[in-house]
A and B are shown apart, each in its own frame.
Chain A
Amino acid sequence: MSKKTLIPIGPYHPLQEEPELFKLYCDGEIVKDIKWETGYNHRGIEKLSESKTYEQVFFLVERICGICSTSHPFAFANAVEEIADIEITDRTKYIRTIIAELERIHSHLLWVGLAGHFLGYNTVFMWAWKYREPVLDLFEMISGNRNSYAMFKVGGVRRDIEEAKIPLIRKILCDARKKIDLLTGAVMDDPVIHARTKGVGILTKQDIIDYGAVGPTARASGLAIDVRKDDPYAAYPLINWKVITAHEGDVFAKAQVRLLEMYESISMIEQCLDGLKKEKEGDISVKVKEIPEGIGNGRAEAPRGEVFHFVQSDGSNSPVRHKIRAPSYVNIATFRKSCIGQTIADATISLAAVDPCYCCTERMAVVYDMNSGEKIMNANELINESVRVTNELKKTIKLQK
């Protein structure tokens, strides 16, 4: 009988930028079991959204995630436009696509940097984040904000991309491509990086299907699922691009998929800029009178995978039900497959490889009895329970003194 040691990763840990807790049960360096707890940062977004008007919800959902702050409004816009049956203009489609793809570039660069940091390769960390800077500057030029762009509204976008700005955007993209070349070279050809990431945290295609993983995590295992292709929205059917896949399913494949996706994104943005020329300037929104009664499903491909928004409307000016599923919610379940049996060093990079984003994933649980259907505990009771436990703990601590 070997005794297992508990190695905690979290609630505050340099590996993850957000509060969460992974409990690695280890025998020596080998991870035997893994459990995770989220819920440190629950913000009640879905409930909040029910008390806001459709226009306000955009600003709210943008703040679900600081990194993929366009994919949530994008999915929400898709859902609301489905309810109201709104046909947006082509110029809007192009602008929305440009914003979403720029976001993918900056999010993937951010991930490459973080992955470097987790491997102890701080030079890649600093370089990737430096190369991300011009992309954020581009955002500032287009939308006025470096993050949380506030570009979306029902039936359109808030700001136009004027003809005068396009040459500069092209130039920045051209520079970005060179820098990504440099970074890709540094990552792809480094034998030490190969030694650290190849064959680590392998997820087979069957694992992906079993766990329902999405986004680059799934595409790195050879499963070509991408909402942009499978359920085309905005300008994605109007331009030429391909879904990047790899087949190994290890950390290296995930890095490869993300790095190559950045090139695809750049080429997509360039095509969208070409498309913008054909459309009339200023034609960026359609008039929306009211949102009728009904339900709408909106999907968007975030940098981490599929974002799903379900919106139910009763004809008033705010949604009666708004359900959000962020990609990390399904992706973090794959940790059981990718981490158990690995060493701690491999497990940490496997955790980081799905690019998890926990705050998007926080949920409130209400416990029901299976048989009777009665509520066993509701929110208030849970809070009272927590207060009771804290008081008890306080008493025991006093006793020890």
Chain B
Amino acid sequence: MAVNLFYFLVFPGLLFVSVTGALLSWFDRKISARVQFRQGPPLLQPFYDFFKLLLVKETILPRKGSPMIFLLAPVFAVFGATMAGVFILLPLFNISTGFRGDLLVIFYLLTIPSFSYITGALASGNPLAAVGSSREMKLILSYELTFLLVIAGIIMKCGQKFDLYSIIQTQQAGSPFIGSISGVLLFIVALFCVQAKLAFVPFDMPEAEAEITGGIFIEFSGATYALIKLSKYIMLFILPSLLVALFMSGFMLNGIHILWAVLKVIGIVLLITLIKNTNPRIKIKQAMSFFMVWMNLIAVIALVLIAFGY
């Protein structure tokens, strides 16, 4: 029990994922700034943002909303993200949970933040938040099937194993999955799914600052918004880590390999940031057809390739 609590709260749980996620969020902001000829924030800016929102800023409750759900939604978001983080990171740090179906649990846990945002936004009673949450719902509908296909591909590749630990072990014993044609295709698809899960441009229509002024997050302020930021920091760390685990044979924790592990995560965040900075926001309809037609098509092609052993 004590070990599990330690896992959840300290390492690799809440404390670890939040701090790493915040640092990665600084990296994302700094790279964006340099791409855009700006200076960018100092290293600790994400922490300043978080603590200022948490401790200094006032939390305003919408008068027409349903306060209980509105306040609980960000807590659930952080909880879901942390829980997913624990399940992703334990196998990555070579700690076997003995849980033989954790990949599917991770898949469900990763949707909890999005659903919490939607419930929180709808509980606020703001029309802009309602538009935002309807967009978020459509976005989830479009990328979840694609993401499931990616996971199915990985499971096929490693010989019907449903747990992340064996997937990583298979890759470390053989070669990383990204080394094959089907692996590359699946990686591209998964990268776009991660982009959509993080709600980064070109898939940031639930927030869409210039259209619906922050959409789903418009009514959140103070501590509630701090928690939402926290859940976003966590997602920015655990989703790239999941990609590393699924495609790049995870982390090896000895000697120079630790550097490689860090570089893999940073590399994926860099890719995400670059996609974010070289595209305009697309419309929700276009996002749906993008995932439902094109990404699903590529994923299915990859599955066929895997079946033929490529």
Binding site for B on A (CB under 8 A): 5-7, 13-15, 26, 28-29, 116-127, 130, 190, 192-193, 195-196, 343-346, 348
Check if B202 is an interface residue, CB within 8 A of chain A. Answer: yes
CA distance A122 to B282 in the complex (A): 14
Stretch at the interface among B6-14, B148-156, B210-218: B210-218
Contact indicator B201/A121 (Cβ below 8 Å):
yes
Given contacts A127-B36, A130-B37, A344-B211, contact A29 B131 (CB under 8 A): yes
Given contacts A7-B127, A126-B36, A126-B38, contact A29 B210 (CB under 8 A): no
Q: Chain B nearest CB: distance from A283 CB in Å?
A: 41
* Shortest beta-carbon contacts, A-B, top 9: A120-B281, A126-B36, A121-B280, A119-B280, A118-B210, A348-B211, A120-B201, A345-B283, A123-B277
Contact indicator B209/A192 (Cβ below 8 Å):
no
For residues 123 through 149 of chain B, which have their beta carbon under 8 Å from a beta carbon of chain A?
127-128, 130-131, 134-135
CA distance A119 to B210 in the complex (A): 8
Contact indicator A192/B282 (Cβ below 8 Å):
yes
Given contacts A120-B204, A123-B36, A127-B36, contact A196 B280 (CB under 8 A): yes
Contact partners of A7 in chain B: CB under 8 A:
127-128, 131, 212
CA distance A126 to B39 in the complex (A): 12
Contact indicator A13/B213 (Cβ below 8 Å):
yes
Partner of A14, one of B36, B130, B213: B213
Closest A residue by C-beta to B210: A118
Contact partners of B277 in chain A: CB under 8 A:
122-123
Contact indicator B283/A343 (Cβ below 8 Å):
yes
For residues 242 through 286 of chain B, which have their beta carbon under 8 Å from a beta carbon of chain A?
277-286
Q: Chain A nearest CB: distance from B208 CB in Å?
A: 7
Contact partners of B283 in chain A: CB under 8 A:
195-196, 343, 345-346
Q: Chain B nearest CB: distance from A72 CB in Å?
A: 28
What's the A-B contact tally at a CB cutoff of 8 Å? 84
Interface centre among A6, A118, A344 (most CB of B within 10 A): A344
CA distance A119 to B281 in the complex (A): 6
Partner of B134, one of A29, A118, A119: A29
Check if B196 is an interface residue, CB within 8 A of chain A. Answer: no
CA distance A88 to B305 in the complex (A): 77
Check if B105 is an interface residue, CB within 8 A of chain A. Answer: no
**11 more A-B residue pairs beyond the given contacts A6-B127, A121-B280, A125-B36, with a C-beta to C-beta distance below 8 A:** A7-B128, A14-B209, A119-B210, A120-B280, A120-B281, A121-B281, A122-B32, A122-B201, A192-B280, A344-B211, A345-B205
Closest A residue by C-beta to B35: A123
Q: Residues 25-38 of chain B: 1 if any A CB is under 8 Å from the residue's CB, otherwise 0?
A: 00000001001111
Q: Chain B nearest CB: distance from A398 CB in Å?
A: 16
A-B residue pairs in contact (CB < 8 Å), sample of 25: A6-B127, A13-B213, A14-B210, A14-B213, A26-B131, A29-B131, A119-B210, A120-B201, A120-B204, A121-B279, A122-B36, A123-B36, A127-B36, A130-B37, A192-B280, A193-B280, A196-B283, A343-B283, A343-B285, A344-B211, A344-B212, A345-B205, A345-B281, A345-B284, A346-B283
Closest B residue by C-beta to A13: B213
Given contacts A6-B127, A28-B134, contact A117 B210 (CB under 8 A): yes
CA distance A195 to B281 in the complex (A): 10
- Main DSSP-derived SS at the A contact region: helix
Contact indicator B211/A345 (Cβ below 8 Å):
yes
Contact partners of A26 in chain B: CB under 8 A:
131
Contact partners of B37 in chain A: CB under 8 A:
126-127, 130
Contact partners of B211 in chain A: CB under 8 A:
15, 118, 344-345, 348
CA distance A26 to B212 in the complex (A): 13
CA distance A120 to B280 in the complex (A): 5
CA distance A28 to B135 in the complex (A): 10
Contact partners of A124 in chain B: CB under 8 A:
280
CA distance A195 to B128 in the complex (A): 24
CA distance A344 to B213 in the complex (A): 12
Closest A residue by C-beta to B207: A120
CA distance A127 to B281 in the complex (A): 17
Contact indicator A116/B210 (Cβ below 8 Å):
no
Q: Chain A nearest CB: distance from B171 CB in Å?
A: 33
Q: Chain A nearest CB: distance from B49 CB in Å?
A: 18
CA distance A127 to B36 in the complex (A): 6
CA distance A348 to B285 in the complex (A): 16
Contact partners of B281 in chain A: CB under 8 A:
119-121, 196, 345
Interface centre among B35, B131, B134, B285 (most CB of A within 10 A): B131
Contact partners of A195 in chain B: CB under 8 A:
282-283, 286
Q: Chain B nearest CB: distance from A223 CB in Å?
A: 28
Contact partners of B130 in chain A: CB under 8 A:
5
Q: Chain B nearest CB: distance from A136 CB in Å?
A: 15
Contact partners of A5 in chain B: CB under 8 A:
127, 130-131
Q: Residues 183-224 of chain B: 1 if any A CB is under 8 Å from the residue's CB, otherwise 0?
A: 000000000000000000110110011111100000000000
Contact partners of A343 in chain B: CB under 8 A:
283-285
Closest B residue by C-beta to A197: B280
Q: Chain A nearest CB: distance from B152 CB in Å?
A: 29
Contact partners of B280 in chain A: CB under 8 A:
116, 119-121, 124, 190, 192-193, 196
Contact partners of A126 in chain B: CB under 8 A:
36-38
CA distance A343 to B37 in the complex (A): 33
Q: Chain B nearest CB: distance from A393 CB in Å?
A: 16
Q: Residues 102-131 of chain B: 1 if any A CB is under 8 Å from the residue's CB, otherwise 0?
A: 000000000000000000000000011011
CA distance A346 to B281 in the complex (A): 11
Partner of B202, one of A116, A117, A120, A125: A120
Given contacts A7-B128, A122-B277, contact A196 B210 (CB under 8 A): no
Closest B residue by C-beta to A131: B37
Contact partners of A130 in chain B: CB under 8 A:
37
Given contacts A7-B127, A29-B131, contact A15 B36 (CB under 8 A): no
Interface centre among B134, B135, B283, B284 (most CB of A within 10 A): B283
Contact indicator B36/A120 (Cβ below 8 Å):
no
CA distance A123 to B205 in the complex (A): 17
Closest B residue by C-beta to A120: B281
CA distance A127 to B278 in the complex (A): 12
CA distance A366 to B279 in the complex (A): 48
Contact indicator B131/A344 (Cβ below 8 Å):
yes
Closest A residue by C-beta to B128: A7
